[in-house]
């Protein structure tokens, strides 16, 4: 049962990340986009570094930028690049 629960968590987190991206692209609720990306991050941050984790950081950077949270945007962008750079 544990692998199934983990698979559902990862699937749900992936959907949240895609939802956040759509909100950002469609000028939707920017704070909802940030919240969805943070919820996805909560799942992927507990696992080994991955492309999903790098994307979470990148989407969060974009969301923070869009709501004028520039220091947070810079931090997340740097983490996205660092995470992506650490991947094989």
CA distance 19 to 35: 10
Tell me the per-residue pLDDT of 6-18, one tens digit each, with 9 for 90 and over. Answer: 789 999 999 999 9
Residues 66, 60, 85, 7, Cα dihedral to 10°: -150
Q: What is the pLDDT of residue 14?
A: 93
Average pLDDT, integer, range 48-73: 94
Residue 3 reports pLDDT greater than 90: no
Helix (H, G, I), strand (E, B) or coil at 54: helix
Cβ burial of 85 (10 Å; 0-12, 13-18, 19+) is exposed
Question: Model pTM?
Answer: 0.87
């Amino acid at each position: 049962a544990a692998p199934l629960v983990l698979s559902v968590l990862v699937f749900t987190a992936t959907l949240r990340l895609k939802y956040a991206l759509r909100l950002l692209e469609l000028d939707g609720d920017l704070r909802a986009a940030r919240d969805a990306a943070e919820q996805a991050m909560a799942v992927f941050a507990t696992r080994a570094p991955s492309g999903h984790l790098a994307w979470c950081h990148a989407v969060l950077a974009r969301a923070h930028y869009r709501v004028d949270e520039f220091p947070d945007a810079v931090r997340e962008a740097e983490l996205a690049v660092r995470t992506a750079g650490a991947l094989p």
